[in-house]
Amino acid sequence: MAKLQSVRGTYDLYGEAKRKAKQVIATGSRIVEKYGFEEIETPIFEFTEVFSRNLGDTSDIVTKEMYCFEDRGGESLTLRPEGTAGVVRAFISEGMQQNLPVKLYYAGPMFRYERPQKGRQRQFTQFGCELLGVEAPQADIEVISMAYEFVENLGLAGTVTVEINSLGDAESRNAYRSKLVTYLKEHIDELSEDSKNRLEKNPLRVLDSKEECDKQVVANAPLYADSLNEASAKFFADVLRGLDNLGIKYRVNNRLVRGLDYYSHTVFELVTDKLGAQGTVLAGGRYDGLVEQMGGGHVAGIGWACGVERLSMLLDAAPTLPRPIAVIPVGEDTQDEAIKIAYKLRRAGYRVEHSYTGNMKKRMIKANKVNACTAVIIGSDELSAQKITLKDLDKGEQKTVALADLLKELN
Ligand code: ATP
Ligand code: MG
């Protein structure tokens, strides 16, 4: 029979890679909780509309990346491609508007039908946060500083750069859009087919294209900064001053737009040059119109999400578990006592490896293999005198101690 395989673009996460991913999520949770964010877990699938109506019907995600299916009841459902739409859906359907601001974070799998390559999977993990109900630039500053503290805590402060831009308010965006359309129409023959199509439906998206021919056209496109109205320019200046004030370095990238329709004002990314084309490890921005667009009230929002696998790939070493203690019974009649001792040590907080079978020599080899620091050797003669042997596996020294003193001796 043919060997069973995982679906293209999906991976089994275990060993060192899993430990790294866990570290990313644990670090993220610890940091954002200090800022008052609380974890939310929304379903992995939602009604298709939750995404199709809100991510923009020309976005890459909606046009070609969603895993949609009809369930047995005939409902169109979609495996979530990103976290924000589901969190905002929950914010509205759970009536959380009553108590603003609301600060939520999440971690979990996302699904996108993409061409698999390094840093691009069909099932991947995001860790992200959303701050709802704050219009002031203080929210932008706080959320970006939180992202920075997060990567700093992963030891990546020197590896990633904060890039930031402002898309301004609706008025500024419209002004920019018409300038951009005029420019792009002059270069229409140089654009990719996708971008010609985008030019009709959502010209801003052309700026985000990954096609080389589009990138060349975009390089000389009008700058967003020149189209910001006074209020938007002030908002952006306030955000930048706030980051300066905290000593957070950033690079204003006038070409930065986000792939989704719902962003306004601040957009930002944390990028690295260590992952080739998949250099964006964390991305976010302000989405003041989204809650209203999804049927809630007028509630401002800002958030970010990181790719856990991409961040994991940047970590040098996975955190190691504490070294275990090996419990080694010698002879049949010491088995029960060995299990009791292992149980006692584990309940006292030690990591314990019980060598299940084999003679003394085999068990000692196993103990070294699991990198045990100490062996607790239980022989029947000693045991009848309520004693056991403790062996330091690094130094090779051993001593006999009273069973009752075991915990004291290990300390
Ligand atoms: P990209 O430009 O690389 O396609 P994106 O703009 O589609 O990214 P977002 O929707 O902003 O990505 O998602 C936030 C983060 O999630 C990304 O910065 C990236 O780190 C990660 N991510 C997105 N898509 C994938 C994927 N297919 N596989 C692994 N990580 C991903
Ligand atoms: Mg993408």
d(Cα 372, Cα 386) in Å, to the nearest integer? 24
Q: Is residue 124 part of a domain?
A: yes
Q: Give residue 259's pLDDT.
A: 66
**pTM above the 0.95 mark?**
no
pLDDT in tens, 157-187: 999 999 999 999 989 988 998 999 999 999 9
Atom of ligand 1 nearest to the CA of 61: 7
CATH code of the domain covering residue 393: 3.40.50.800
In contact, 105 and 128? CB cutoff 8 Å: yes
Q: Is residue 185 part of a domain?
A: no
Q: Give the pairing type, strands 398-402 and 76-79.
A: unpaired
In contact, 403 and 411? CB cutoff 8 Å: no
Q: Is residue 177 part of a domain?
A: no
Q: Which amino acid, residue 57?
A: D
In this structure, the answer to whether residues 273 and 393 fall within a common structural domain is no
CATH code of the domain covering residue 259: 3.30.930.10
Q: Helix, strand or coil for residue 132?
A: strand
Atom of ligand 1 nearest to the CA of 82: 10
Q: Give residue 60's pLDDT.
A: 79
Over range 279-288, report the average pLDDT: 95
**Cβ–ligand 1 contact at 80 (below 6 Å):** no
Out of 286, 312, 338, pick the residue that ends a domain.
312
In this structure, the answer to whether residues 291 and 352 fall within a common structural domain is no
Residue minimizing CA distance to atom 21 of ligand 1: 307
Over range 228-240, report the average pLDDT: 97
- How would residue 258 be classed by pLDDT, with cut points 50, 70 and 90? confident
Please check the confidence at residue 346 and state whether its pLDDT lies above 90: yes
Positive or negative, the Cα torsion across 356, 357, 360, 366? negative
Out of 250, 280, 312, pick the residue that ends a domain.
312
Q: Is residue 28 part of a domain?
A: yes
Q: Give residue 71's pLDDT.
A: 96
d(Cα 124, Cα 21) in Å, to the nearest integer? 11
Distance (angstroms) between ligand 1 centre and the Cα of 397 equals 53
Residue minimizing CA distance to atom 29 of ligand 1: 120
Distance (angstroms) between ligand 1 centre and the Cα of 307 equals 6
Please check the confidence at residue 329 and state whether its pLDDT lies above 90: yes
DSSP assignment of 245-310 equals HTT---EE-TT---SSTT-EEEEEEEE-SSSTT--EEEEEEE-TTHHHHTTS-S--EEEEEEEHHH
Residue minimizing CA distance to atom 25 of ligand 1: 120
Q: Give residue 277's pLDDT.
A: 84
- How would residue 334 be classed by pLDDT, with cut points 50, 70 and 90? very high
Q: Give residue 198's pLDDT.
A: 83
Q: What residues make up the domain containing 403?
A: 325-410
d(Cα 203, Cα 207) in Å, to the nearest integer? 8
Over range 340-362, report the average pLDDT: 92
Over range 344-349, report the average pLDDT: 96
Residue minimizing CA distance to atom 7 of ligand 1: 259
pLDDT in tens, 193-225: 988 888 888 888 888 888 899 999 998 999 888
In this structure, the answer to whether residues 278 and 398 fall within a common structural domain is no
- Top mutation candidate among 280, 287, 302 for ligand 1, by most atoms within 8 Å of CB: 280
The total number of structural domains that make up the chain: 2
d(Cα 40, Cα 30) in Å, to the nearest integer? 15
In this structure, the answer to whether residues 253 and 150 fall within a common structural domain is yes
Q: Is residue 181 part of a domain?
A: no
Over range 266-293, report the average pLDDT: 93
In this structure, the answer to whether residues 274 and 405 fall within a common structural domain is no
Q: Is residue 214 part of a domain?
A: no
In this structure, the answer to whether residues 355 and 295 fall within a common structural domain is no
Q: Is residue 373 part of a domain?
A: yes
Q: Give residue 357's pLDDT.
A: 86
d(Cα 195, Cα 178) in Å, to the nearest integer? 16
Q: Give residue 272's pLDDT.
A: 94
In this structure, the answer to whether residues 150 and 98 fall within a common structural domain is yes
Over range 260-281, report the average pLDDT: 89
